[in-house]
Amino acid sequence: MNKPTTKAELLEDIREQRQRLENALKGLTEADMVKSKAPGVWSAKDILAHITAWEKSLLQWYETGLRGEKQVMPDWKKPGIIDGINWGIYERNLKRGLTEILTEFRDSYKHVLEMVEAAPEEALFTPGKYDWTGKTTLADYIVSNTSNHYAEHIPAIEAIKQQHSI
Asked if residue 106 belongs to a domain, the reply is yes
Q: Tell if the pTM clears 0.75, that is, is over it.
A: yes
Is residue 160, in this structure, part of any structural domain at all?
A: yes
Is 2 contained in some domain? no
Q: What is the pLDDT of residues 56-77, one digit of tens each?
A: 999 999 999 888 888 889 998 8
CA atoms within 13 A of residue 52's CA, in its CB half-sphere: 21
Q: How many domains does the chain have?
A: 1
Residue 1 DSSP class:
-
- Which pLDDT tens digit goes with each residue over 7-56? 999 999 999 999 999 999 999 999 999 987 655 689 999 999 999 999 99
Domain extent for 118: 7-165
CATH code of the domain in which 71 resides: 1.20.120.450
Residue 166 has pLDDT above 80, yes or no: no
90-136: per-residue pLDDT in tens? 999 999 999 999 999 999 999 999 999 999 999 999 999 998 999 99
